[in-house]
């Protein structure tokens, strides 16, 4: 199974690690007349008529220490400025705007949003509690008190289609819009492999034991800073025992039903939202 068109991937920026590690090169990048700043209203991106992210002059930024070097676009430095507070929850309007952008643009926004939000939420040292300051061009925070270096975290989440013969399992949470179903998912816990996390989550949420688990692909998901790890798991049985605290419903759907729904015809469920890896995974499974 091969995934295509995975949302929030395909950034064209060179992350320029050599500049992050060299204060002299960073100072040059800040002074570069071609340098640009990502235009954000808090965390809301401005979108141009060409369906690209909007950029502005770097001098708008409040202070060089509040800048994150997102990378280089054909050699030209691209920065974002750290906002004063954490990002709001994702909205349907933001996801729709991201889905409409030119290829690669949403990936640049995702990286910026995740690292800016990390700064806003991690102003103090986890070792000694002192206030920390950005370093490494905004890709870390340093504690001036105890010297501990802190780096942006990524939270791994497994997201899986459970397969039995020609059917797969889809589920819905109470907060979803009516009719919407998607793949099962859950955070990987400390001490677990991806395969073990898949097996545990499937057992917890629908009471089904799985055998073989295959990794298929992955997606950065910047709400707040997850890495979605898409898998297909083979079910050992098909009797569903629902965890009603987590899920409202779970159903088996045949390949022909999934194909029909993905083609836009009426069916027993609405497909996962655009831009999610669950949709990419479902499309890939249906096309097989």
Choose, by CB under 5 A, the member of 6, 143, 199, 282 that binds Zn ion: 143
| Alpha-carbon span 220 to 232, nearest angstrom | 18
| Alpha-carbon span 175 to 90, nearest angstrom | 14
Stretch 210-269 residues interacting with Zn ion (CB under 5 A): none
Given the complex with Zn ion, which of 27 and 128 has the nearer CB atom? 128
* Site size with Zn ion, rule: CB under 5 A: 8
Residue 145 sits in the site that holds Zn ion (CB under 5 A): yes
| Alpha-carbon span 272 to 153, nearest angstrom | 26
- In whole angstroms, how close is the CB of 177 to Zn ion at the nearest point? 44
Stretch that binds Zn ion, among 145-153, 189-197, 221-229, 257-265 (CB under 5 A): 145-153
Stretch that binds Zn ion, among 40-48, 78-86, 94-102, 137-145 (CB under 5 A): 137-145
Residue 96-135 contact track with Zn ion, rule CB under 5 A, x = bound:
-----------------------------x-xx-x-----
Stretch 180-219 residues interacting with Zn ion (CB under 5 A): none
> Distances in Å between the alpha carbon of 143 and those of 54, 123, 124, 131, 244?
33, 9, 8, 7, 44
Given the complex with Zn ion, which of 122 and 260 has the nearer CB atom? 122
| Alpha-carbon span 118 to 85, nearest angstrom | 10
- In whole angstroms, how close is the CB of 116 to Zn ion at the nearest point? 22
| Alpha-carbon span 114 to 42, nearest angstrom | 13
| Alpha-carbon span 139 to 30, nearest angstrom | 15
Q: What is the per-residue DSSP string for 182-226?
A: B-EEEEPPTT--HHHHHHHHHHHHH---EEEEEEEEEEEETTTTE
Residue 146 sits in the site that holds Zn ion (CB under 5 A): yes
- In whole angstroms, how close is the CB of 118 to Zn ion at the nearest point? 17
Q: Which DSSP letter does residue 148 get? A: -
Q: Contact residues for Zn ion (CB under 5 A)?
A: 125, 127-128, 130, 143, 145-146, 148
């Amino acid at each position: 199974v091969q995934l295509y068109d995975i949302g929030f991937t395909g950034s064209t920026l060179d992350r320029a690690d050599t500049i992050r590690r060299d204060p002299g090169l960073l100072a040059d990048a800040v002074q570069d007349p071609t340098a640009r700043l990502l235009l954000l209203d808090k965390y809301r991106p401005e979108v141009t008529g060409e369906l690209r992210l909007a950029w502005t002059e770097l001098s708008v930024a409040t202070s060089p220490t509040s800048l994150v070097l997102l990378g280089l676009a054909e050699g030209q430095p691209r920065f974002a400025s750290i906002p004063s507070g954490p990002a709001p929850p994702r909205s349907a309007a933001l996801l729709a705007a991201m889905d409409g952008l030119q290829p690669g643009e949403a990936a640049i926004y995702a990286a910026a949003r995740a690292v800016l939000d990390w700064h806003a939420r991690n102003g103090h040292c986890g070792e000694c509690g002192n206030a920390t300051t950005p370093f490494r061009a905004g890709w870390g925070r340093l504690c001036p008190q105890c010297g501990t270096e802190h780096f942006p975290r990524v939270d791994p989440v497994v997201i899986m289609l459970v397969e039995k013969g020609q059917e797969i399992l889809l589920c819905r949470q109470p907060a979803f819009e009516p009719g919407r179903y998607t793949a099962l998912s859950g955070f990987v816990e400390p001490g677990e492999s991806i395969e073990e996390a898949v097996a545990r989550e499937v057992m917890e949420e629908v009471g089904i034991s799985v055998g073989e688990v295959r990794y298929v692909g992955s997606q950065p998901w910047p709400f707040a800073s997850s890495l979605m790890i898409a898998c297909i798991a083979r079910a050992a049985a098909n009797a569903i025992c629902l965890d009603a605290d987590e899920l409202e419903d779970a159903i088996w759907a045949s390949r022909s039903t999934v194909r029909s729904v993905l083609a836009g015809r009426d069916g027993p469920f609405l497909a996962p939202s655009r831009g999610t890896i669950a949709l990419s995974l479902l499309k890939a499974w249906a096309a097989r």
